[in-house]
Amino acid sequence: GALRVLDALVRWYAKPPEDDAGLSVALDHAARVLRPGSRLVVLADPSSIAAIEAHRWPAFALHHDTTVLLLVDPLERDPPKAALPFATSEHRVELDLASAPQRQRWRQEFTGPIEAALQALPARGVRVQVLPTDAPSDAWFAAWGRQQASVA
């Protein structure tokens, strides 16, 4: 039941659009065009970061001011501890996240890559910041110690 829904969601997220060459290719292009000392800002979801070979990050960090902004959905980080409904055009399914095994599976799929990136990237010289999708548009300025804009 519910685990099949999670599996389907994972498969859907794992299949990029056909014209998407992926983050790895984007980093290849960046490596060719950036000059030493350039600032590199990577905005990506944690699963995309996990797909990049670990040895690539120190090379960027050595020659560039490298920051990764991990774009995360608050629902993925902190799901409800109750039934979570999903509706398609064909049917409706409820994922019971009150169940410990299903919460653990959710955590492995969504929170695990975030935690892995937060641990691995700084160890490779890359600044990393979690950027929730519901954060203000200037929230990422904190990655460089800048003040967020304020509204009077």
**Do 114 and 128 form a contact (C-beta atoms < 8 A)?**
no
**Do 43 and 18 form a contact (C-beta atoms < 8 A)?**
no
The pLDDT value given to residue 80: 86
What is the percent of the chain with per-residue pLDDT over 70, rounded to a whole number? 81
The pLDDT value given to residue 50: 92
Half-sphere exposure of 83 (CA within 13 A, CB side): 7
∠25-27-32 over CA atoms, to 5°?
100
Q: How large is the greatest C-alpha to C-alpha distance in the chain, in angstroms?
A: 53
Q: Name the stretches of the chain with pLDDT < 50.
A: 147-152
**Do 69 and 61 form a contact (C-beta atoms < 8 A)?**
no
The amino acid that residue 80 corresponds to is P
**Do 48 and 68 form a contact (C-beta atoms < 8 A)?**
no
